[in-house]
Structure 1
Amino acid sequence: MDRVDKAEILKVGERAPEIKPDLIAVEEPLEIRIGFGAEQQREQRSISVTMRTPGHDFELALGFLFTENIILSYDEVVSIRYCQGTGKQAEKENVVRVELSPSVQIDFKKIERHFYTSSSCGVCSKTSIDAVKTGCPVISSALKIDENVIHQAPDILRAEQRVFEYTGGLHAAGLFNKQGELMIMREDVGRHNALDKLVGTALVKQMIPLSDYFVLVSGRASFELVQKSLMAGVPLMAAVGAPSSLAVALATDFNMTLLGFVRNQSFNVYCGRERLAYENKN
């Protein structure tokens, strides 16, 4: 399924309005279903519908299940596939089923989140902020990052945003090592989807916990993005935009370093300043 679509637009500007071709980011719903239970008594349940940019759908589903504390490792996944029997051609690659090991126990009463989310906000339907924190580890990583590595990261991430280059309409999440090398990059119309795709990829690669890496997101740092990064063991999260008050509080509570406004050779450190090495500029 394509991630970019064509559109015909009326361009209005300094010159006379003119009709021109344009490229736009594709947005489609993805339903995530899980198969669970004993081998002879398998059940299926739909747990999420999210609006996403097609691509890396399996990683998105895996990252979502992991950051929501439904699975603890990739070893708990038996298989993952698109559902073919949905009855509608349009749904052919928009429904994913993740088969979980019979050993995985799921208490749906403890999953307090209503999983039907939009691409712009995934945490609004939480019934309790405390429920979001359940399962988040306290970060103990001794990672230390040179400030110049942080300064360079936005340009490196931006250079790899292929779909954004065409459409200007996608968020990105990048995983960097302490030398500033980009290890994984994912794009999506939803900022939390981009991060779930990144975490799902790291899960498959057996990289989690991500104790020796930092994450950069192209937009603002929301409470949910910090929570997802904490679940993956990320010690430092940087954002091109601003963090929210809840994001700062959560990062502080769980010993994560949180940076905001990472752009133009500058950034703000909201908590966890001990993980940064600064130049002596006196």
Structure 2
Amino acid sequence: MGRVTQRTRVTVVDVSADGAGVRTRADTVTVEEPLELRVNGTPLTVTMRTPGSDIELVHGFLLSEGIIRDVSDVTLARYCEGAVVSGQSGFEENTYNVIDVTLAPGVAPPSDEMARNFFTSSSCGVCGKASIEQLRARTSWPVRDDATQWPAALIAALPDKLRTEQRSFERTGGLHAAGLYGPGGEVLVVREDVGRHNAVDKVLGWALLAGRLPAAGCVLMVSGRASFELTQKALMAGVPCLAAVSAPSSLAVETAADAGMTLVGFVRGTRLNVYSRPDRVLTA
């Protein structure tokens, strides 16, 4: 849709002794817009996201929350005409900020209680689970027995590979990214978004729609920290290894260890920290 970035005027202030003082110039910023997700016509949640790959986003979200488990669980996902604005032509135009997903017959829609638990923003993730035990019970593809191993050097190279694919980040500096990589480090898909959890949902939605689930042997690389929410989402897609540029949270470490997932943090330069299942990371 071409709404990933937009131009704006910015006042630049330089406080250094030999600085240029104050000047005005054009700048590029990341677009952030709401996306309302409806299931069978009923509003479920609103997330602040960067437009693009929205169909993947909603599929990934519904997968990670255990509402769907297979692409066949969705019969239709389409933009609604419910959100409109007055365009330059004077006529109302679709904002493409509302998607309605129709579930297949026999697939239970989200309960009212689940819908009340959802809250999203660009700075935090979503967890509609009442307990961690629910997460364990609803994971479709256990990762504990995945025998894939990755050379440490392969994982260490992933942040640079991810950055190479971040086309919008180079212009704005304001986007998170997530990438799914095969056992040999080959890139399968990279997605960007103003929200970390949205970038991951777009990746997992792509994998679902492409028939790549479970993501056995794959590494999910994220540009920020590894939170419980991101660990949960990776587990729901059968990803055996989650790697992050920054730190994991304590609950992310506990969840990964309990599930048998390899969790890697602080992947920077030639160093990385392995927090769970280090047997999968080859150092010799």
For the criterion TM > 0.5, the same-fold answer is yes
- Could you say which residue in structure 2 is the equivalent of 1:81? 78
Query: Partner of 1:162: helix, strand, or coil?
Result: coil
Could you tell me which of 217, 236, 241 is aligned with 2:241? 236
- Could you say which residue in structure 2 is the equivalent of 1:102? 105
| 1:138 pairs with 2:142 | yes
| 1:63 pairs with 2:60 | yes
Structure 2 stretches lacking a partner, 5+ long: 86-91
Say if 1:189 and 1:134 are closer, same or farther in 2 by CA, change over 3 A: farther
- Could you say which residue in structure 1 is the equivalent of 2:283? 278
Query: Deviations 1:68-122 (Å, cap 9, x if unpaired)?
Result: 0001100111111100144545763000011111121236167376223111112
Say if 1:264 and 1:75 are closer, same or farther in 2 by CA, change over 3 A: same
**Structure 1 residues 1-40: aligned runs within 5 Å:** 1=1, 2-13=3-14, 14-35=19-40
User: How far apart in 1 are the matches of 2:121 and 2:137?
Assistant: 22
**Greater shift in the superposed pair: 5-14 or 99-108:** 99-108
- The normalised TM-score by structure 2 is 0.90
Preserved CA contact (<8 Å) 1:239 1:262:
yes
- Could you say which residue in structure 2 is the equivalent of 1:115? 118
Query: Partner of 1:75: helix, strand, or coil?
Result: helix
- The normalised TM-score by structure 1 is 0.91
Structure 1 stretches lacking a partner, 5+ long: 36-43
Query: Deviations 1:28-63 (Å, cap 9, x if unpaired)?
Result: 00001111xxxxxxxx21111000000000000000
AA partner of residue 277 (structure 1) = L
Identical-pair percentage = 47
Aligned length: 271
AA partner of residue 143 (structure 1) = T
Query: Partner of 2:157: helix, strand, or coil?
Result: helix
Preserved CA contact (<8 Å) 1:112 1:128:
no
- Could you say which residue in structure 2 is the equivalent of 1:39? none
